[in-house]
Structures are given as structure tokens and as C-alpha cells.
Structure 1
Amino acid sequence: MAFKSEEELNKTFEAAKANLEIEGMIITKEMEKLIKRR
């Protein structure tokens, strides 16, 4: 994937980081549910 500018690259990077954080939060919540069940 080619980027026209550094700004475009940064925007994509920030979006990817935000998605990872959201996924991490969801996984953490699921893990907590599993731990509480035991």
C-alpha cells in the first residue's frame, strides 16, 4: 500500500491503533467474564 504523504500515513496509523485498542478492550472484558464464571 502506497501513501501519498506522511500525513496520510499518520492518519491510517492512528486509525489502526484505535481499532487495536477497541479490540483489546473487548478481549479484556470477555476474559473478565470467563474468570468470574470460575
Structure 2
Amino acid sequence: MTQFDIHIYSISFEIINILDIINHLSYSSQVDNFYYT
């Protein structure tokens, strides 16, 4: 693996991580809404 490949890999990993967090947050808010209605 070159330095460039490692860089791309880490960026994609961070993006996946961020998407996962957003997914979790939106899921949590849906659950909250479900309980409060």
C-alpha cells in the first residue's frame, strides 16, 4: 500500500464512521418520537 492508498482508506473509514453516527442519531430520534406520541 502506498501513502496515497492509506490516505484514501482512512478518509473512507471516517466517512463510514460519520454516516454510522448520523444513522444512529436519526434512529434514536425516531425512537424518541415513537415513545412520545
- Whether TM-score is above 0.5 comes out as yes
Q: TM-score, normalised by structure 1?
A: 0.78
Q: TM-score, normalised by structure 2?
A: 0.80
The C-alpha deviation readout for 1:3-29, integer Å capped at 9, x for no partner, is x61111000000000011111100000
| Aligned Cα root-mean-square deviation (Å) | 1.1
Gaps of at least 5 residues in structure 1 are: none
Instruction: Give the share of equivalent positions with the same residue, in percent.
Output: 9
Q: Which has the higher helix share?
A: 2
- How many corresponding residue pairs? 34
Gaps of at least 5 residues in structure 2 are: none
Q: Which has the higher contact order (CA 8 A, sep 6+)?
A: 1
Kindly provide the amino acid, as one letter, of the partner of residue 35 in structure 1. Answer: Y
